[in-house]
Structure 1
Amino acid sequence: MKMKKVTAMGMAVLMAATMIPAVPAMADDAGKVYYLNFKPEQDEDWQNLAKEYTEETGTEVTVVTAASGQYETTLQSEMAKSDAPTLFQVNGPVGLKNWKDYCYDLKDSDIYSQLTSDSYSLKDGDAVDGIAYVIESYGLIVNKTLLEKAGYTLDDIKSFDDLKKVADDIQSKKDDLGIKGAFTSAGMDGSSDWRFKTHLANLPIYYEYKEDGIDDTDAIKGTYLDNYKNVFDLYITDSTCDGSELSAKTADDSRNEFVNGEAVFYQNGSWEYSELSKTFKDDELAMIPIYFGVDDANEGLATGTENYWCVNKNASEADVKATLDFMNWCVTSEAGTKSMAEDMGFTIPFKTAEAPSNVFVKQDAEYTEAGLTPVSWNFTTMPSEEWKNTLGSALTAYAAGSGSWDDVKSAFVDNWATEKALSE
């Protein structure tokens, strides 16, 4: 039954993204909200929250969810329509470049006054173009029960060398353990490849920036690409499937492998908690850092945000007001903060935030309290979606054996400079 629920959710999101409904017409003087949601895994939660808001206030809220990896394309299409989104998302400074002319200035809004820190705002000069609405973490999700069945505990994994030793051993005795691999499939389908061309690729960027004392660059050097290779090699060799199959493996495939007890490790983030908690108890799950072999003794989870709400300044005055009211209600009301904390598993950067029950969020706090350094989210400085796609293609070919790691290096380093130049 669990697997059917996961699959059904994936299909529902796909339908929502590929069959964009018309936004219902209302009287000209009645404000309405059209939210183009970035996060497929929270589609049902947003639909429920929108319904509750409408029942409470009478304001119509339509939520449409873009398919995984298709947000920018969907946003471009929807913004060209007469009933365009009133609330949308950009992923940071690079994403803002495409949409800053559409952004309503939020500096005088109620929601801006609720932020716990101005660092969670996205500014263009003095204007506040975007506001972060969730802080998240990602790493390696661990099935502790399977790990212990293999003869290990979390204490046995404190570095990349430890991770490789444990994963290699688990892979060698997978048949005896009744599993398919140490790691779930590193799917390079569009619903899944962001985990590797964006999230895993953040690690070599993070360590290079940290070493050089910078927070952006027009020319990445690729100092830590060997470490990137080591982790990706582990994913594709100690896996539930052969590397040649990864091009067609989806996000649902990877999640289902973990849910069905077919693998011990699953690279993903705190946003997966609501789905995984339908199958696992909290004490059966853990999230550990993606140990990179650079500063493993001090490395925490990758924690940050690429999720910034923006309001469409081209919407009617009534729709802008309705949208601002809805946003503020989400982060201040009991119903909104409870849904974002418990249903969505979010840590939100607002004064009235409710502490989430999400075990991965709690673990991130524990790592930080123990003195480990969270890996910052630097993938918001990646030059473009085209850069990510080129890197993803090179990784896919490498995994399949039809491409070389030199091709991956070129896609990472040479194409970075090319795409940065094009964005100027």
Structure 2
Amino acid sequence: MSVNGWKLSRRSFVGGAGLAVAAGLAACSSGTSSSGGSTSGSDRAGNVYWLNFKPELDATLQKLAGTYMEKYPNVKVKVTTAAAGTYEQTLTSEMDKSDAPTLFVIGNTAGVKEWGDFAMDLKDSDIAKLLSTEDYNLSDDAGKLVSIPYCYECFGIAVNTDLIEKAGHKLDEIKDFASLKAVVEDLHAKAAENGFDAFVATDMDDSSSWRVTGHLTNLMFFYEARDDGGWEEAPATIKGTYVPNYRKLYDLAINNGTVEPSALATGGHDPLTQFTSGKAAFFLTGSFGYADVKDKVTNTACIPYYCGVQGEEKAGLNCGTENCWAINDNASDEDKKATMDFMVWLVSDADAAQAMVDGLGILPYKNAPASANVYLANAQSYADAGNYNLDWDFNYTPNVEQYRANLVSALNAYNAAPSDASWEGVKTAIVDGWATQYKAANA
């Protein structure tokens, strides 16, 4: 199986979604309609309202919406971007309005249960026919195709390789947690001498806490799911076997960074700027953040979440998606068609598709343009070397926003007074919190 000419592999172990990275064919010409023929501006009408999940894509989408309305003046395109960590509550609010979103995100099995009834069946639709793989499609129990992906992503630990070389190290030194720890602690110990630290600030405000309450938790959930033979749906409880491994990597980041742990709660330290300005060499990010890095960090790479798990020298990056389009089935037929046409334009018009790829890293559509996203290339390199992907089992998190909010509180308490005793509160938020939120979501 392939996406745009690159390998697409399922998990090296049972269950879950695998890796898809970018390269490929030239985009097809602009002016393609949802029915496959050319469409003039006068033939298109209606309203498109996309409730966007990705804040980093907002500027690109606003420009694309403007371009589309110039091209098709009888279509109104509105893009509203939910603030980080607020998508579910924003969607709930917006869906209650008379001008509800026509295009929204259902990115995991919990979302299918919550929002699947609102979604139009995309099976055999014009946009679905353009997909290069069906592996990431989300369907309900009745077989309705609820949502389809519009990008794939990978994440891990981004490294400014020039900085670690300036400090006397090489990227290929880092093969597991012990070697990562040695490099990180050496950089931190010599921060004043070198003029830069190891990790950027691991801020815990809403704009950044998802890096550790969402993405970093994936290492725990992936390895536990692997032990279980793979999750097909969210389990009612988790064992928390790999909470100690989560703590190892979390502690390494907060204790060897530009900001003291006790000062992380309020955020505002701008970890992205710390990374791009050379203030620190390590950053928890991924392909979604590469566009903000590429013009400012000359040499960068993304490495796995090394956390002390046996055999992790064969780990790769965290690869998957929670970015899946759904069309509101309660919208008018005209607005549903307008939305479908807009989606097709985004992935098939040469300029629009290139802008989407530049912002997202990859489009999983047959004729999407190539990507120059280095972090996606890193993910592919690990896969080509036979390493396993850490697939996105954090997508199974029940009642996700409340779960993460409770974990933020527990981590802030730990950061303020780190100890084994205060870590018990974090473990409780992770393990008992899962069971609590599962019950709340499945009441």
TM-score by length of 1: 0.89
The structural deviation recorded for 1:131 is 0.7
What does residue range 6-405 of structure 1 map to in structure 2 within 5 Å?
A: 30-58=45-73, 59-124=75-140, 125-179=142-196, 181-215=197-231, 216-250=234-268, 253-281=270-298, 284-294=299-309, 295-341=311-357, 343-384=358-399, 385-401=401-417, 404-405=422-423
Q: Contact conserved, 2:361 with 2:372, CA < 8 A, in 1?
A: no
Secondary structure (helix, strand or coil) at the match of 1:130 reads: strand
Contact 1:122 1:130 in 2 (8 A): yes
Distance between the aligned counterparts of 1:258 and 1:422, measured in 2? 38
Shift of 1:44: 0.8
User: Which secondary structure state, in structure 2, belongs to the residue aligned with residue 119 of structure 1?
Assistant: coil
Amino acid in the other structure paired with 2:284: Q
Q: Contact 1:345–1:357 (CA<8 Å) still a contact in 2?
A: no
Q: Any stretches of 5+ residues in structure 1 without a counterpart?
A: 1-28
For the residues of structure 2 that align with 1:346 and 1:64, how far apart are their CA atoms?
Answer: 21
Shift of 1:370: 1.4
- What stretches of structure 2 of length at least 5 have no aligned partner? 1-43
Superposition deviation, residue 77 in structure 1: 1.7
Distance change in 2, residues 1:345/1:314 (3 Å): closer
Q: Cα gap change, 1:116/1:49 in structure 2, threshold over 3 Å: closer, same or farther?
A: same
- Contact 2:151-2:360 within 8 A present in 1 as well: no
Q: Give the match for residue 19 of structure 1.
A: none
CA distance in 1, matches of 2:349, 2:240: 45
| Distance in 1 of aligned mates of 2:266 and 2:374 | 31
**What is the one-letter code of the residue matched to 1:198?**
G
CA distance in 1 between counterparts of 2:102 and 2:415 reads 41
Q: Distance in 2 between matches of 1:381 and 1:178?
A: 41
1:138–1:269 Cα contact (<8 Å) kept: yes
- Give how far 1:50 is off: 1.6
Shift in Å, 1:208: 0.7
Normalized per residue, the structure richer in helix is 1
Contact 2:57–2:360 under 8 Å retained in 1: no
* C-alpha RMSD over aligned residues: 1.5
Question: SS of the counterpart of 2:438?
Answer: helix
Question: Which deviates more, 288-297 or 400-409?
Answer: 400-409
Q: 1:400 Cα shift?
A: 1.6
Contact residue 92 and residue 306 of structure 1 kept, 8 A? yes
What is the SS of the residue equivalent to 2:110? helix
TM-score, normalised by the number of residues in structure 2: 0.86
- Determine the C-alpha separation between the residues in 1 that align with 2:398 and 2:99: 30
Q: Is the 8 A contact 2:220 2:241 kept in 1?
A: yes
Aligned-pair distance for 1:297? 1.4
Greater CA drift, 153-162 or 410-419: 410-419
Structure 2 residue identity aligned to 1:286: A
Greater relative contact order structure (CA < 8 Å, 6+ sep): 2
SS at match of 1:60: strand
8 Å CA contact 1:337–1:352 kept in 2: the answer is no
Q: Which moved more, 1:222-231 or 1:64-73?
A: 64-73
Q: CA deviation at 1:120?
A: 1.7
User: How far did residue 167 of structure 1 move?
Assistant: 0.4
Do 1:91 and 1:308's aligned partners in 2 also have CA atoms closer than 8 Å? yes
Is the partner of 2:265 in helix, strand or coil? helix
Q: Which amino acid aligns with 2:308?
A: G
CA drift of 1:102 comes to: 1.2
Deviations 1:186-222 (A, max 9, x none): 1110111111011000101100111120314211000
Q: Which amino acid aligns with 1:223?
A: T
Q: How many equivalent residue pairs?
A: 391
Q: Using the alignment, how far apart are the partners of 1:154 and 1:61 within structure 2?
A: 45
User: For the Cα contact (< 8 Å) 1:141–1:267, is it kept in 2?
Assistant: yes
Instruction: Note the C-alpha offset of 1:63.
Output: 1.0
The Cα shift of 1:288 comes to 0.8
Q: CA deviation at 1:138?
A: 0.4
Q: Percent identity?
A: 43
**CA shift digits 1:298-317 (9 cap, x unpaired):** 10010100111111111111
One-letter amino acid of the structure 2 residue matched with residue 187 of structure 1: D
Question: Could you report, residue by residue, the CA deviation over 1:237-290 in whole angstroms, capped at 9, with x for unpaired residues?
Answer: 00111111111114x711111112111100011111111123123xx1111111
Distance in 1 (CA, whole Å) between partners of 2:367 and 2:383 is 22
Q: How far is the alpha carbon of 1:73 from its aligned partner? A: 1.6
Map Cα deviations across residues 88-124 of structure 1 (whole Å, 9 max, x no partner). 1122111222212211111131111122222221101
Equivalent residue of 1:68, what SS? coil
SS at match of 1:244: helix
Amino acid at match of 2:301: A
**Cα pair distance change 1:225/1:382, threshold 3 Å:** same
